[in-house]
Chain A
Amino acid sequence: MERFEYAHPTTQRETIGLLGSNWNDAAVLAGGTDLISLMKEYVVAPKRVVNIKNVEGLNGVHSNAEGVTIGALVTMDELLEDKTIRSEFPALTQAAEGITSPQIRAMGTVGGDLCQRPRCWYFRNGYGLLAKDENGKSLVPDGENRYHAILGNGGPAYFVNPSSLAPALIALEAKLKLTGASGQREVRASEFFVIPKSDNERENVLKPNEVLTHIVIPASSRGFRSATYEVRHKMALDWPLAAAAVAVKLEGGKVREGRIVLGHVAPIPWQARDAEKELEGKSITESLAAGVGDAAVRGAKPLSQNGYKVQLTKVAVKRALLAAAKGEA
Chain B
Amino acid sequence: MADYHWPPTDKCKLIGRRISRLDGPWKSSGRIKYSYDVNRPNMLHAKMVFSPYAHAKVVSIDTSAAEKMPGVKAVEIMTEPGKEVFWEGHEVAAVAAETEEQARDAARRIQVQYEKLPHLVSDVNPSKAGEHTKQLAEQTDGNPDQAFQQAEVVSEGEYGVPVITHCCLEAHGQVAEWDGDNLTIYASTQNVSGMPGELVRAKIADSADKVRVLTPVMGGGFGSKFGADTWGLACARLARKAGRPVKLMLERDQELMAAGARPSMYAKVKVGAKKDGTLVGWQSESWGTGGPDAQGGAPSLPYVVRIPDRRVRHTTVLTNIGPARAWRAPNHPQMCLITMSALDDLAAKVGMDPVEMLQKNIQMTGQLSKTYSAELEKAAELMDWKKKWHPRGDKTPGTIKKGLGVSIHTWGGAGHASNCNCVIQPDGSVSSSLGSQDLGTGTRTVIGIITAETMGLPLEAVKVNIGDSKYPADGASGGSTTVGGVSSSTRRAATAALNQLLERVAPSLNAKPEELEAADGQIRVKGNPSRAISWKQACAKLGTTPITGVGQRQRGNDDLLSSGVGGAQMAEVSVDTETGQVHVDKLVAAQDCGLIIDLKTAESQVYGACIMGITYSLFEHKIMDEQTGRCLNADMEFYKLAGIGDFGEIVVHMMTGNGFDERGVIGLGEPPVISPGAAISNAVANAIGVRVPTLPLTPDKVLSALEKGAVA
A236 with B646: CB separation less than 8 A: yes
* A100 interfacial contact with B, CB 8 Å: yes
Which of B151-159, B168-176, B484-492, B578-586 is near enough to bind chain A? B578-586
B640 with A238: CB separation less than 8 A: yes
Chain B residues, Cβ within 8 Å of A251 = none
B580 with A234: CB separation less than 8 A: no
Best-buried of A119, A236, A307 by chain B (most CB within 10 Å)? A236
Q: Given known contacts A119-B637, A308-B703, is B578 in contact with A315 (CB within 8 Å)?
A: yes
Q: Given known contacts A121-B638, A305-B700, A312-B579, is B643 in contact with A234 (CB within 8 Å)?
A: yes
A233 with B698: CB separation less than 8 A: yes
B699 with A312: CB separation less than 8 A: yes
Query: Closest CB-CB distance, B423 to chain A, in whole Å?
Result: 46
Q: Given known contacts A233-B619, A234-B619, A315-B579, is B625 in contact with A143 (CB within 8 Å)?
A: yes
Q: How many residues of B contact A (CB 8 A)?
A: 34
Q: Given known contacts A122-B632, A311-B703, A312-B699, is B625 in contact with A236 (CB within 8 Å)?
A: no
A308 with B630: CB separation less than 8 A: no
Dominant secondary structure at the A interface: loop
Give A185 to B105 CA distance when docked, in angstroms. Answer: 40
Chain A residues, Cβ within 8 Å of B626 = 143
A237 with B643: CB separation less than 8 A: yes
Query: Closest CB-CB distance, A311 to chain B, in whole Å?
Result: 6
Chain B residues, Cβ within 8 Å of A2 = 105
Give A3 to B109 CA distance when docked, in angstroms. Answer: 14
Q: Given known contacts A234-B619, A308-B580, A308-B703, is B633 in contact with A121 (CB within 8 Å)?
A: yes
For window 588-640 of chain B, which residues contact chain A by CB distance below 8 Å? 618-619, 623-628, 630, 632-633, 635, 637-638, 640
Give A177 to B583 CA distance when docked, in angstroms. Answer: 42
Query: Closest CB-CB distance, B706 to chain A, in whole Å?
Result: 9
- The residue in chain B whose Cβ has the minimal distance to the Cβ of A239 is B637
Chain B residues, Cβ within 8 Å of A133 = 627-628
* A241 interfacial contact with B, CB 8 Å: yes
* A8 interfacial contact with B, CB 8 Å: no
Chain A residues, Cβ within 8 Å of B640 = 233-234, 238
* A274 interfacial contact with B, CB 8 Å: no
B638 with A231: CB separation less than 8 A: no
* B642 interfacial contact with A, CB 8 Å: yes
Query: Closest CB-CB distance, B646 to chain A, in whole Å?
Result: 5
* B704 interfacial contact with A, CB 8 Å: yes
Give A312 to B643 CA distance when docked, in angstroms. Answer: 22
- The residue in chain B whose Cβ has the minimal distance to the Cβ of A290 is B578
Give A241 to B579 CA distance when docked, in angstroms. Answer: 10
Query: Closest CB-CB distance, B621 to chain A, in whole Å?
Result: 10
B643 with A231: CB separation less than 8 A: no
- The residue in chain A whose Cβ has the minimal distance to the Cβ of B637 is A119
Chain A residues, Cβ within 8 Å of B641 = 236
Chain B residues, Cβ within 8 Å of A139 = 625, 627-628
A144 with B699: CB separation less than 8 A: no
* A142 interfacial contact with B, CB 8 Å: yes
Give A121 to B578 CA distance when docked, in angstroms. Answer: 27
Give A282 to B418 CA distance when docked, in angstroms. Answer: 76
- The residue in chain B whose Cβ has the minimal distance to the Cβ of A238 is B640
B643 with A233: CB separation less than 8 A: no
Give A237 to B638 CA distance when docked, in angstroms. Answer: 10
B699 with A234: CB separation less than 8 A: no
B632 with A125: CB separation less than 8 A: yes
Number of contacts between A and B (CB, 8 Å)? Answer: 80
* A235 interfacial contact with B, CB 8 Å: yes
* B644 interfacial contact with A, CB 8 Å: yes
Chain A residues, Cβ within 8 Å of B638 = 119, 121, 147
Best-buried of A1, A241, A311 by chain B (most CB within 10 Å)? A311
A 131-150 to B, binary, CB cutoff 8 A, 1 in contact else 0: 00100000100111011000
Chain A residues, Cβ within 8 Å of B623 = 144
A236 with B703: CB separation less than 8 A: no
B 634-673 to A, binary, CB cutoff 8 A, 1 in contact else 0: 0101101111111000000000000000000000000000
Give A123 to B280 CA distance when docked, in angstroms. Answer: 53
A100 with B643: CB separation less than 8 A: yes
A143 with B646: CB separation less than 8 A: no
A146 with B700: CB separation less than 8 A: yes
Query: Closest CB-CB distance, B200 to chain A, in whole Å?
Result: 38
Kindly identify which residue among A3, A124, A142, A236 contacts B627, using a CB–CB cutoff of 8 Å: A142
Kindly identify which residue among A1, A3, A127, A231 contacts B699, using a CB–CB cutoff of 8 Å: A231
Best-buried of B578, B581, B618, B642 by chain A (most CB within 10 Å)? B578
Kindly identify which residue among B633, B646, B703 contacts A235, using a CB–CB cutoff of 8 Å: B646
Give A229 to B451 CA distance when docked, in angstroms. Answer: 57
Give A124 to B623 CA distance when docked, in angstroms. Answer: 14
For window 98-125 of chain A, which residues contact chain B by CB distance below 8 Å? 100, 119, 121-122, 124-125
Best-buried of A121, A133, A142 by chain B (most CB within 10 Å)? A121
Chain A residues, Cβ within 8 Å of B627 = 133, 139, 142-143
Chain A residues, Cβ within 8 Å of B105 = 2-3
A121 with B632: CB separation less than 8 A: yes
Chain B residues, Cβ within 8 Å of A311 = 578-580, 703
A 299-319 to B, binary, CB cutoff 8 A, 1 in contact else 0: 000000111100110010000
- The residue in chain A whose Cβ has the minimal distance to the Cβ of B253 is A41
Give A174 to B152 CA distance when docked, in angstroms. Answer: 66
Give A122 to B623 CA distance when docked, in angstroms. Answer: 12
Chain A residues, Cβ within 8 Å of B704 = 308
- The residue in chain B whose Cβ has the minimal distance to the Cβ of A124 is B635
Give A308 to B626 CA distance when docked, in angstroms. Answer: 21
- The residue in chain B whose Cβ has the minimal distance to the Cβ of A293 is B578
B 557-593 to A, binary, CB cutoff 8 A, 1 in contact else 0: 0000000000000000000001111010000000000
A233 with B699: CB separation less than 8 A: yes
B 364-388 to A, binary, CB cutoff 8 A, 1 in contact else 0: 0000000000000000000000000
Chain A residues, Cβ within 8 Å of B635 = 124
- The residue in chain A whose Cβ has the minimal distance to the Cβ of B624 is A144
Chain B residues, Cβ within 8 Å of A100 = 643, 645
A 167-186 to B, binary, CB cutoff 8 A, 1 in contact else 0: 00000000000000000000
Chain B residues, Cβ within 8 Å of A235 = 583, 643, 645-646
Query: Closest CB-CB distance, A300 to chain B, in whole Å?
Result: 15
Kindly identify which residue among B618, B625, B644, B703 contacts A144, using a CB–CB cutoff of 8 Å: B625
Query: Closest CB-CB distance, B576 to chain A, in whole Å?
Result: 8
For window 61-119 of chain B, which residues contact chain A by CB distance below 8 Å? 101, 105, 108
Give A146 to B627 CA distance when docked, in angstroms. Answer: 15
B646 with A241: CB separation less than 8 A: no
Query: Closest CB-CB distance, A256 to chain B, in whole Å?
Result: 28
Chain A residues, Cβ within 8 Å of B624 = 144
Query: Closest CB-CB distance, A267 to chain B, in whole Å?
Result: 18
- The residue in chain B whose Cβ has the minimal distance to the Cβ of A40 is B104
For window 192-218 of chain A, which residues contact chain B by CB distance below 8 Å? none
Query: Closest CB-CB distance, B188 to chain A, in whole Å?
Result: 22
- The residue in chain B whose Cβ has the minimal distance to the Cβ of A2 is B105
Query: Closest CB-CB distance, B400 to chain A, in whole Å?
Result: 13
Query: Closest CB-CB distance, B547 to chain A, in whole Å?
Result: 52
Chain B residues, Cβ within 8 Å of A239 = 637
Chain A residues, Cβ within 8 Å of B628 = 125, 127, 133, 139
Give A143 to B121 CA distance when docked, in angstroms. Answer: 12
For window 202-261 of chain A, which residues contact chain B by CB distance below 8 Å? 231-239, 241
For window 668-712 of chain B, which residues contact chain A by CB distance below 8 Å? 698-700, 703-704
B642 with A236: CB separation less than 8 A: yes
Chain B residues, Cβ within 8 Å of A127 = 628
B contacts, CB < 8 Å to A: 101, 105, 108, 578-581, 583, 618-619, 623-628, 630, 632-633, 635, 637-638, 640-646, 698-700, 703-704
Pairs A–B under 8 Å by Cβ, sample size 6: A121-B632, A121-B633, A144-B623, A231-B579, A232-B581, A235-B646
- A1-B101, A231-B579, A235-B645 known, 11 other contacts, Cβ within 8 Å: A125-B632, A133-B627, A139-B628, A143-B626, A146-B700, A231-B581, A234-B642, A236-B643, A236-B644, A308-B700, A311-B578
- Which 10 pairs show the lowest CB-CB distances between chains A and B? A236-B643, A235-B645, A308-B700, A121-B632, A315-B578, A308-B703, A231-B579, A235-B646, A144-B625, A236-B645
